[in-house]
Each structure stands twice: as C-alpha cells, then as structure tokens.
Chain A
C-alpha cells in the first residue's frame, strides 16, 4: 500500500480575531501549507475541509479566494475530531491510488460562551441536561473516584500546559499560571474551575498530503509544483477515526443512560489501538503527544485511554512529571487546548502542524529533543475520536 507523507503545513493562530473572517483565516493556513510543499494551482487533486460551525461550502469559499477550484472539495464534520476525519479521508484516497496529492485543512470561528450544540434535543436543553461542561465534570468526578486524581492534579495539568503555551506564538493564552490561581478561578462545575476548561475560539490549520513516491515538491511533469528548498517530509503512520460503542454513560456520545459495565472500551481507546496497529508501533515508542485537553481531567483520562499509562495510573504519571517538557513522554508541548483554545474544525490539524515541526526539529523553545514518533489525539461529540501517528 502507498505510504503517505506530509509535504507541507500551515497555520493561522488560534484566538479571537474580530477583523478576520473564517475564510481569511483558512487562506492564511492553506497558503502556508502550499508554499511549504511548493504547490501552485493544479498541484493537488482533492481537498477536504474540516469545520463544525463554518456552514455551507466553507472549503469552497477558502479555495475560491485563491483561485484553486475545480477539484473535489469536501467539507467534513466530526465534532472536535473533524480535522482527524478529514485527514483520514485524504490519506485513504491517496492510499487507494485515487490521488497523488491532497490538501486537508480546517477552519473555525466559534460562537462565544458555552457551546450551543444542535446535538441536544429541546427537552434535554429545557431540562438543563444540555450543559456541556457538566458532562466534563461528571467524567472528572469518576476519574477522581477511580484513579486517585485530586483537584491538585487537575490544577497541575493547567499549570503544565499554560507553561508550555508561553512559547507558542499561535496560542491564545501565553502567560504562566500557578496552581493557587487555577483553584481560585471561578468554579464552573465541581470539580472544574474556569481555568481548567479550554476556550472555544477561532483559527485554521492546513496540511498537504502526498504519496511517498511522488507528488508535491517532486517536480511533477503535469505542473502544479515549483522548485526550491523543501522542509523534510514527515510520514503519516496512521490517521484513524472511531465512534463510540454503546454502553458507557459518560463517553462523548452523551447518551441519557448507559450500562453499569466498565468493560466497554472508550472511543479514544478504539482509535488508538487501531492507529498503533496501522503504524506498527506501541505507546512505549512515542516521543511526543498532543492530546485532547478540553478540560484538565480529559487530559489525564486520555493518558489512560491512549495507553500512556495503565488504567488508574493517570495521577501517578502526572505526579512523576513525565508529561511535562523534559519528562519521559511530553504531552501538549504546544500548550494544548488549554493554551491555544479550541477552534473545532482546526483543532486536530493544529496538533498535526505542531507535531510536524517537532519531528522536523524546528519546534524552537518547546522542541522535544530527538523526537521521531508523535501522536495527535482528539475526541468529542458524536462520539468522534481520532488518533494520528507521525514518524520521521
């Protein structure tokens, strides 16, 4: 089967940009990725655009602006994992031999405040059951019951990620915080305080995928590429999307009931297991991870679901300092969603952009020395969970 490489990446910073449209941000990210890959018009044969709130033909609007249309452009929605879903479709099309080179990008401009999702039915909203952060809090409470996690552990995740985010020019929050201040921020839903929750925001990210043998930057005879020095390619080892299995009451499918059964695997575990198999690696091979830290407890739960530690050991891994920069397995060296904010459609591809820089060795202050194997993880409503493995 054809191997898939990442030939270029681009990003528009994550934050709030009153003077910029979602299309403006998409253009910035797409231009960046195309420039790195040395692509001009005709250089990619299909485009997949991830967005959850962008509305009709978001991808077409971006590519129309830069005069690059005619090929199939498909908008993809899979909640927080939309970018992972788009990446899976693009990579699959290349592996199947349908295309040599595919553009995958994500764009988002989220409404402010607590996310209103069309996911909930009116009776659920009217009953007060459409309170998205409350579901995060219920998961956090269970993690405290099952894994010995305390509010101090939750605060330490925020302190770690915000410390990492200081050096990420594309992050929304670039100041350090201490645990006392985190625990003093407003209580939203016990045990989660405001600073333990990520902020929905705006941004865009783009990735050029190409078959390992040819395509972008390789001087295609059909045109579509330009000469010049290119950054090193990164191998896409796996791009896996999974949904939930029925039974778990607190998985991201947000059911109104579930079974008293702890054996149902989480969607993130399903995606990670498949991605490890596809990439031919295990969690012990990972050098750097970007994971879904929608809230501080979600990051700790992800450690267990991705196999970074055994079930029940998230608190111990956290205490060990293993997941901070300089630790055994740094998690969210970008600062995570807690620093960057979460523009749903751009979020997963933003992780991929940052990890491509890690594997190229040009991640600057937050570089994980010698990183060769990286994992990006997103999970959210649907349920949708995506796991991407990158290698060099």
Chain B
C-alpha cells in the first residue's frame, strides 16, 4: 500500500507505507482485512487460508467492521524491541461485532480515559518516517466519543 497524502511535516514526502501489505484497506474510513471460515463462520485477523478453529481450508477474505468496543487496555511507556516510533502509546484489545477480539494500538495514551465497553473506531496512524522519507503507518483504534 502506498497512498499519497499531504505531508504532516516538511521532512516527509507524504507517501504512506503500511507496516505490512494486506492488514487494512486504503479507504476512508479504513477497514481491517480479515477472513471468514466458510465451514464454521468464525472470523480471523490477520487473514488466514486455514481456519485455526475448525481447520477448514479456503477462508473467504472479508473487510471487518470499522467499529467495536474496548475489551482491555494499557499504555506502553518504554519503546519495545524493533519499534522506532514514539512512546507512550495506547495498546489494547477491541471486540468487533463479528465476535472477534483484535490486539491493536490505541490512540488514547491515558488509561484513565478508557473503560470497558467504550465505543472505538479503526484508524490508520503513522509510526515513524523511514530512510526514504516515507511515513510508515499501521492500524489503531480511537475512542469514538472521547471522555
């Protein structure tokens, strides 16, 4: 994925590059790219060909719901290995209507402003600028009604 946007700062070219192809759509609003097992109907993220729940092959690619509810959350205060972005950042699990719980970054870094069951919406966020000046982006969830 490489979509051209207005650069948020003068240093970047404005080209956004996903941390990995096939994780989310290049649309507004964005959607996570998952799959649905044709045999048992359960959903997966990231996409699988083989259903981890019933072992059936040929799971269908689907776009997952863009909104869900917060199930667990914390804030990462120390940069973990292999991460070149800023800290702190929010980190949590969001439950989607498909019955899927997704591990994700959160845009909210203050855990006291988050609570179980809070409505969340999927967004694409910059992580860092790479050596070519491209903005490296990944998926995250943001509170729909910040409290």
Contacts and interface: CB of A to CB of B under 8 A. Distances in A.
B77 A259 contact: no
Given A127-B19, A128-B76, A188-B77, A257 B83 contact: no
A256 B116 contact: no
A260 B99 contact: yes
A187 interface: yes
Contacts of A134: 74, 76, 80, 91
A298 to B, nearest CB: 15
A249 B74 contact: no
B136 interface: yes
Contacts of A257: 34, 44-46, 100-103
Contacts of B93: 138, 249-250
Across chains A and B, which 7 residue pairs bring their CB atoms closest together, nearest first?
A125-B82, A116-B81, A123-B20, A137-B74, A131-B80, A127-B138, A257-B45
A126 to B, nearest CB: 5
B100 A129 contact: no
A259 B82 contact: no
A116 B79 CA distance: 12
A361 interface: no
Interface string A246-259: 11011000011111
Given A116-B82, A190-B74, A128 B46 contact: no
Interface of A: 114-117, 120-123, 125-132, 134, 137-139, 141-142, 145, 187-192, 246-247, 249-250, 255-261
Contacts of B141: none
A239 to B, nearest CB: 28
B95 interface: yes
Given A123-B23, A260-B95, A130 B81 contact: yes
B92 interface: yes
A123 B74 contact: no
Given A127-B105, A145-B116, A259 B111 contact: no
A90 to B, nearest CB: 31
Contact of A141 (B72, B102, B103, B136): B72
18 contacts: A122-B82, A123-B23, A123-B138, A127-B105, A128-B83, A128-B89, A138-B92, A138-B93, A138-B103, A142-B71, A189-B77, A190-B74, A247-B53, A249-B93, A256-B46, A257-B102, A259-B42, A260-B101
A188 B74 CA distance: 10
A130 B82 CA distance: 8
A138 B99 contact: no
A117 B70 CA distance: 27
B75 interface: yes
Interface in B115-134: 116, 127-128
B40 to A, nearest CB: 11
Given A138-B74, A249-B101, A256-B46, A130 B53 contact: no
A260 B23 contact: no
Contacts of A188: 77-78
A198 to B, nearest CB: 16
Given A130-B82, A137-B74, A190-B74, A123 B19 contact: yes
A23 to B, nearest CB: 26
